[in-house]
Structure 1
Amino acid sequence: METTKLKLWGVVFLAALMGCSDIDDETEVGNWVKYSDFEGVTRSGAVSFTIGDYAYVGLGTDGDDYLMDFWRYDATQNFWQEMAAFPGPGRIAAVSFSIDGKGYVGTGFNEDLTEEELGDFWEYDPSTNSWSEKAAFGGGARYAATGFTVDQRGYIGTGYDGNYRKDFWSYDPSADEWTQVVSLYGSKRESAVSFVIEGKAYVGAGRNNGSYLYDFWAFDPATEGWEDHTLYDDSDYFDEFLAAVSRYGAVAFTMDGKGYIVGGVASSYSQDVYAYEPNTGEWSQSNSFEGSARSSAVAFTIQNTGYVGTGKNSTHEFDDFWGFYPDEEYDEYD
């Protein structure tokens, strides 16, 4: 058993070193284009959600203060506009998603408060540019959880509240009600990633008690069950899979039927980009993220383009934003 663990960690460490290079010489496909910098202050631990053709980004920390500002990104005009500030406490490591034209934000962490872990939950209505408080998250206060939307319901699970968690809860916006669903079958964790493809949510990566995790699960809301999509060393894609999910603090998005995992911490701050094809189970590596290596960024998809921005590397926060084009060749000048 110990020999197997050492072999696995050797692969993870090698993958992390490869991810820190500027561009993998053997990888030619996948190009990042720099877009307008986020117009708020530099930050990490922010949240984002999309409504129609707009993305909304806010909260986080600039390294000194917990922030409450929110901004809308118009990808067509490559333009940021400040919107109504978040009315709850500023925070990092919250969860966000959108349902039926409204955005939702909840949980998180603020060490300036008496109760540092947060469980409040808020709705943003873009038609009135206003926020309203909703029923508190059913699983209780926590941070570094993950969330997603499937079939007009929001889901939040995992995270940390003094204990690493693996429970999951479903939110019905029409009833403003939380219901517990089946817990993640894998390990407890915080700082995981999740993305949704064709009505199923995929959850993986993260860490538990300082250890990086390398399992990967799919949630089917029709059965409220979890399917094990972890790969093992007899798989053709095992090396790519292991390098992709053995990290925490990464971001993820979906484009054209594939899930993408970007950055995070894999022994060191990473620029790695990995794609997952659910129909074949294939994992593949794309050209590295062209911004600085980072964790605690935000990611979203607009008009079939994936965007990644903000985040941190050590004590340095970022405000740059990049769009990803997976089928284009790398171009260092765009």
Structure 2
Amino acid sequence: MNDRTKLLMGLSLSLFSLFCFFSCSDDSDSDLVGNWIKRSDFGGPIRGFASSFVIGRKAYVVGGYTSKKRRLNDIWEYNIDQGYWTQKADFPGTARNAAFAFASEDKGYYGTGTDATNNYGDFWEFDPDNNQWTQKADFPGGARYGVTAFYLNGIGYAGTGLGTNYYMDFYKYDPATDTWETGVSIQGSKRANATNFIIDNKAYVVGGGNSSGYVTDFWMFDPDTQTWEEKAQIGDKTDDDFDDDYTTITRLNTVSFVINGLGYLATGETGSLNSYTWEYNPVTDRWTERTSFEGTARTGAVGFSIDNRGFVLTGVGSTSSTDLYFDDMWEFKPRDEYNEYD
């Protein structure tokens, strides 16, 4: 199985694979709320399918690939207060892409992933104060990629993905003891290359795909009760009017971030590249379309939020083999008026 086939997970996309450089939306962005603003470029080389985490007021981007044959093991720190990037100590494990990452209060964690030939199940800790990597207990779910992960109440959670199978399992990591234990599996569909966002100490897992196609079920995890709750699906699945326009939320290899208690999805792919931006309100359990991503359309980007500011950067400019990789960075202002010249 070649690299691109693995990343697309065997989905039958031939009817939709288009080389799409700009938003695929038919709606006029001027009719939507929200504005994308180009910020200073990412400090490292162009890349796609990297991983990111946030510690305090600093974001970190690690790994990915910058061509089909060149994986990366560098890590870069973004200081939002100063607006600049600094390269940190290289990741000492095998260079890879599509790895998971999350952060505790003061450490970053990075594990699994693929280099197109091999999948990995190792797991590492990054200490930004000492600029040092330390290998930790292996991820117990085995070698895989496209895992989604998050951190709540002092515990890391990692699950789903693709290895010898598509998965729906989750595992819990305790940084204090460097131990993993089996957690509660997500319900509904198996999936890989999903994303997640955290609102009010609950994790929302959305998107991804499996051998049956793109996943439309949407789940919230509550760490206090250790339970999953299904939310409204992200497709037109009911006879009610609220989801009639839910035709462009579904995707994989998307990014997410949170601004003022609302979740956002941007970029990714649904056969062709997906530039639609959607906003999720956890109080109403409803999605609202916002101004489409204004950079070049892409998949395999990274996204993060700091201090109620949401950013999207890097990525790949095609759903098929390409040399088009990015190092630009964009900030989304969800309540600003659209301005195509920003």
Same fold per superposition (TM over 0.5)? yes
Instruction: Give the drift of 1:332.
Output: 2.0
Instruction: Give the drift of 1:82.
Output: 0.7
Q: What is the distance in 1 between the residues matched to 2:114 and 2:245?
A: 33
Q: What is the distance in 1 between the residues matched to 2:177 and 2:157?
A: 15
Q: What is the distance in 2 between the residues matched to 1:195 and 1:21?
A: 24
Alignment-derived partner of residue 110 in structure 1: 115
In structure 1, what residue type is equivalent to 2:340? E
Instruction: Give the drift of 1:24.
Output: 2.8
Q: Is the 8 Å Cα contact of residues 169 and 180 (structure 1) preserved in structure 2?
A: yes
What does the per-residue CA deviation read over 1:14-53, in whole Å, with 9 as the maximum and x for residues that have no partner? xxx9951486346331111111111211100101111111
Instruction: Give the drift of 1:210.
Output: 5.2
Q: Is the 8 Å Cα contact of residues 263 and 293 (structure 1) preserved in structure 2?
A: yes
Alignment-derived partner of residue 331 in structure 2: 323
Alignment-derived partner of residue 203 in structure 2: 201
Q: Is the 8 Å Cα contact of residues 301 and 314 (structure 2) preserved in structure 1?
A: yes
Alignment-derived partner of residue 164 in structure 1: 166
Q: What is the distance in 2 between the residues matched to 1:210 and 1:219?
A: 24
Alignment-derived partner of residue 52 in structure 2: 48
Unaligned runs of 5+ in 1: 1-12
- Is residue 247 of structure 1 aligned with residue 251 of structure 2? yes
* Partner of residue 142 from structure 2, selected from 140, 143, 149: 140
Q: Is the 8 Å Cα contact of residues 25 and 276 (structure 2) preserved in structure 1?
A: no
- Is residue 76 of structure 1 aligned with residue 81 of structure 2? yes
Instruction: Give the drift of 1:235.
Output: 3.7
Q: What is the distance in 1 between the residues matched to 2:244 and 2:307?
A: 31
Moved over 4 A (4+): none
* Partner of residue 94 from structure 2, selected from 79, 89, 94: 89
- TM-score, normalised to structure 1, is 0.90
In structure 1, what residue type is equivalent to 2:132? S
Q: Is the 8 Å Cα contact of residues 237 and 284 (structure 1) preserved in structure 2?
A: no
Alignment-derived partner of residue 297 in structure 2: 293
In structure 2, what residue type is equivalent to 1:24? S
**1:327 alignment partner, SS class:** coil
Relative to structure 1, the CA distance from residue 23 to residue 86 in structure 2 (aligned partners, 3 Å threshold; closer, same or farther) is farther
Alignment-derived partner of residue 228 in structure 2: 226
Relative to structure 1, the CA distance from residue 87 to residue 243 in structure 2 (aligned partners, 3 Å threshold; closer, same or farther) is same
Relative to structure 1, the CA distance from residue 96 to residue 304 in structure 2 (aligned partners, 3 Å threshold; closer, same or farther) is same
- Is residue 150 of structure 1 aligned with residue 152 of structure 2? yes
**2:292 alignment partner, SS class:** coil
What does the per-residue CA deviation read over 1:226-254, in whole Å, with 9 as the maximum and x for residues that have no partner? 1111343234431344521x211111111
Q: What is the distance in 2 between the residues matched to 1:20 and 1:308?
A: 18
Unaligned runs of 5+ in 2: 1-15
In structure 2, what residue type is equivalent to 1:44? G
Relative to structure 1, the CA distance from residue 240 to residue 276 in structure 2 (aligned partners, 3 Å threshold; closer, same or farther) is farther
Relative to structure 1, the CA distance from residue 210 to residue 310 in structure 2 (aligned partners, 3 Å threshold; closer, same or farther) is farther
Q: What is the distance in 1 between the residues matched to 2:140 and 2:125?
A: 15
Instruction: Give the drift of 1:214.
Output: 0.7
Q: Is the 8 Å Cα contact of residues 27 and 285 (structure 1) preserved in structure 2?
A: no
Relative to structure 1, the CA distance from residue 23 to residue 198 in structure 2 (aligned partners, 3 Å threshold; closer, same or farther) is same
Alignment-derived partner of residue 10 in structure 1: none
Q: Is the 8 Å Cα contact of residues 23 and 293 (structure 2) preserved in structure 1?
A: no
**2:248 alignment partner, SS class:** helix
Alignment-derived partner of residue 307 in structure 1: 311
RMSD across aligned positions (CA):
1.8
- TM-score, normalised to structure 2, is 0.88
Q: What is the distance in 1 between the residues matched to 2:29 and 2:55?
A: 37
Alignment-derived partner of residue 181 in structure 2: 179
Relative to structure 1, the CA distance from residue 179 to residue 25 in structure 2 (aligned partners, 3 Å threshold; closer, same or farther) is same
Q: Which has the higher strand share?
A: 1
Q: What is the distance in 1 between the residues matched to 2:107 and 2:225?
A: 26
Alignment-derived partner of residue 259 in structure 1: 263
Q: Is the 8 Å Cα contact of residues 247 and 264 (structure 1) preserved in structure 2?
A: yes
In structure 2, what residue type is equivalent to 1:82? Q
Q: What is the distance in 2 between the residues matched to 1:73 and 1:242?
A: 34
Q: What is the distance in 2 between the residues matched to 1:235 and 1:222?
A: 32
